[in-house]
Structure 1
Amino acid sequence: MREKILHNAAEMFLNLGFKSVTMDDIASSSGVSKKTIYIHFSNKTELIEAVTSYLFDTICCGIDMIHEQEQNPIIELFEIKKFVLHHLKDEKSSPQYQLQKYYPKIYLTLKQKQFEVMQESIKENLGRGIEQKLYRENIDLDFIARIYFNGMVGIKDKDLFPLQEYSMNTLMNYYLEYHLRGICTQKGIQELENQLYN
Structure 2
Amino acid sequence: MMKEKIIEKSADLFLNLGFKSVTMDDIAQEMGISKKTIYQYFATKTKLVEATAIFKFNCINDAINLCFCAKVNPIEEILKMKDFIISQINSERPSAEYQFKKYYPRIFSILKQKQFEITKDCISGNLKRGIKEGYYREDINIEFISRAFFALMVSLKDEEVFPKDTFTKIELLGYVLDYHLRGISTIKGQEFLNQIKTNN
Instruction: Using structure 2 for the length normalisation, give the TM-score.
Output: 0.84
Deviation at 1:109, TM superposition (A): 0.6
The structure having more radius of gyration, on CA atoms, is: 2
Q: Where do 5+ consecutive residues of structure 1 fail to align?
A: none
Gaps of 5+ in 2: none
Tell me the equivalent position of 2:44: 43
Alpha carbons of structure 1 residues 22 and 135: separation in structure 2 relative to 1, 3 Å: same
| 54-63 vs 162-171, which moves further | 162-171
Question: What TM-score do the two structures reach when normalised by structure 1?
Answer: 0.85
For 2:129 and 2:139, the matched residues in 1 are separated by: 14
Moved more, 32-41 or 109-118: 32-41
CA contact (8 A) 2:7 2:55 kept: yes
**Cα 1:37–1:166 shift into 2, 3 Å:** farther
Residue 70 of structure 1 is matched in structure 2 by: 71
2:130 maps to which residue?
129
Which residue of structure 2 aligns with residue 24 of structure 1?
25
**Counterpart residue number, 2:55:** 54
How far did 1:131 drift?
1.6
May I ask how many residue pairs the two structures share in their alignment? 198
Correspondence 1:8 to 2:9: yes
Q: How does 1:1-198 map to 2 (within 5 A)?
A: 1-87=2-88, 90-93=91-94, 95-161=96-162, 166-195=167-196, 198=200
RMSD of aligned residue pairs (Cα, Å): 2.4
Change in Cα spacing, 1:186 to 1:28, as seen in structure 2 (3 Å) is: farther
| Structure-1 separation of matches of 2:164 and 2:36 | 36
Q: Deviations over 1:158-188 (max 9, x none)?
A: 4544556654333322221222122122322
- Looking at structure 2, the residues matched to 108 and 64 of structure 1 have their Cα atoms a distance apart, in angstroms, of 22
Q: CA deviation at 1:32?
A: 2.5
The offset of 1:42, in angstroms, is: 1.6
Residues 17 and 93 of structure 1 are in contact (CA less than 8 Å); yes or no, is this contact kept in structure 2?
no
CA contact (8 A) 2:20 2:99 kept: yes
Name the CA distance, whole Å, in 2 between partners of 1:187 and 1:133: 7
